Amino acid sequence: MNLRRLFFIAAVAAAVACTPAQQPSIPEDDNQENNDNPGQDDTPGGEDNPGGTTVKPGTYTIDFTQAGYANQEDVTSYRTDELSLEFTGAKWYDNGDALRFYSSSTVTVSSAKMIEKVVFVFAATDGAGNEITADSGNFATDTWTGEAGKVVFKIEGQSGHRRVTSMEVTLGEADAPEQPGGDTPGGDGGEITPGEDVLTVAFTGVRSGGTYYKWEGKKGTASSAVYAGDTANYQDKAIQMNKNDYGDLGIVTTATGGKVSKVTVSWDDKNYAQITHTLNVYGSNSTYASAEDLSNPAKAGTLLGTLAYPDGTTLSVTGDYKYVGFCSADNALYFTEIRVLWE
């Protein structure tokens, strides 16, 4: 695997994000007795700009060579607080140190600010044989200019590919129109309803008797937030999650409930005081795609704080964050409730 240090300064705070690895059928705590096999076996059902975006205008560089991709890894997205890049047909190769985009591949760039310029930086080994087109503005050689909240690029041709090492995106002063679905970085999208959501094992829809299970599309109990996760069910009593050494585990929001204000947890007595149990809480202004984002410093967002068993129960959030994520920092964690207050 080709491991590299992420270049974004904002991601430094998230560098302690949970580390991905293959997920076994069920993890065990080294010093914890009677760690039952929970889960399920069937698919369950800006202050500076009030009311607008907190994204700042300027030029942002996305350096794929510093993203830590594995050789021949399929790459589907790259997100920061300012930008969202979505890819189809993209694959990273160490040979050439570049993302390869094949015939009919697409690159979609979106932001809450109007995009005014996009520059593709090609590898020295790029063949330049496949024309790149855009759905708006003007594209010539390697540079797009125009004004749009979202731009879709397509690699043309019947065969061949393009090799891209980085991209530079310039955002203007004007706010972009809201994109449907609430996926625009720094934007809201759709109707937002604040409130306090209460997450329980029943809320996740994961049933007892199996292993960790991925779930999504769970509307908040009070807010407009939508949650997704990779968690287990401990005896129908508690939500269980573990350190991401066991897989891409945790809970994230895929739609916002406004501004996250406070996180409160109720620990189940399955947690033992003899070993540490610490919950990492992350915030972002880009929507999370899945719990897998928490294992990637480029997508995890900002570490807002930690809650440690048994006394750590409440985290008041400082700053404006529209999305929130949770994952274990150490061992298996058990919660009878996780409450998220949105303003």
Q: Pairing between strand 260-267 and 333-342?
A: antiparallel
Question: pLDDT per position in the chain (343 positions), as tens?
Answer: 443 443 333 443 444 455 443 333 344 343 343 344 443 333 333 333 334 557 899 999 999 999 888 898 888 888 888 888 988 889 999 999 999 999 889 999 999 899 999 999 999 999 888 999 999 999 999 999 999 999 999 999 888 899 999 999 999 999 988 665 455 665 555 578 899 999 999 888 888 776 888 888 888 888 989 999 999 999 989 999 988 766 678 999 999 999 999 999 999 989 888 889 999 999 998 889 899 999 888 889 999 999 999 999 999 999 999 999 999 999 999 999 999 999 9
Which structure tokens are listed for 185?
Answer: 């970085």
Q: What is the pLDDT of residue 7?
A: 38
pLDDT of residue 53: 59
State residue 93's pLDDT score: 94
CA dihedral for 85, 88, 93, 98, sign (positive or negative)? negative
Report domain extents, the chain: 58-175, 191-342
What the block records as the tokens of 293 is 């984002």
Q: Does domain 191-342 have CATH number 2.60.120?
A: yes
pLDDT at residue 45 in the model:
34
The pLDDT value given to residue 11: 41
Side chain identity at residue 112, one-letter code: A
- Neighbouring-strand partners of residue 40: 211
Strand 278-284 with 302-308, pairing = antiparallel
d(CA 227, CA 215): 9
The single residue listed with the structure tokens 């891209």 is 164
CATH of the domain spanning 58-175: 2.60.120
**Its pTM surpasses 0.75:** no
Single out the residue of 134, 191, 130, 190 nearest to residue 156, CA to CA: 130
- 3-state class of 330 per DSSP? coil
Question: Torsion over CA of 50, 55, 59 and 65, rounded to 10 degrees?
Answer: 170
Concatenating the DSSP letter of every residue in 142-166 gives TEEEEEEEEEEEEE-SSS-EEEEEE
pLDDT at 187: 55
* Residue in this structure with the two tokens 């080994």, named with its chain if needed: 125
SS3 296: coil
Whole-number Å distance between alpha carbons of 72 and 207: 35
pLDDT of residue 183: 54
List all residues 6 or more positions away from 131 whose beta carbon is below 8 Å from its beta carbon: 155, 156, 157
Residue 159: C-alpha distances to residues 75, 97, 102, 130, 153 (Å):
19, 20, 7, 8, 17
Q: Give the pLDDT score at 210.
A: 67
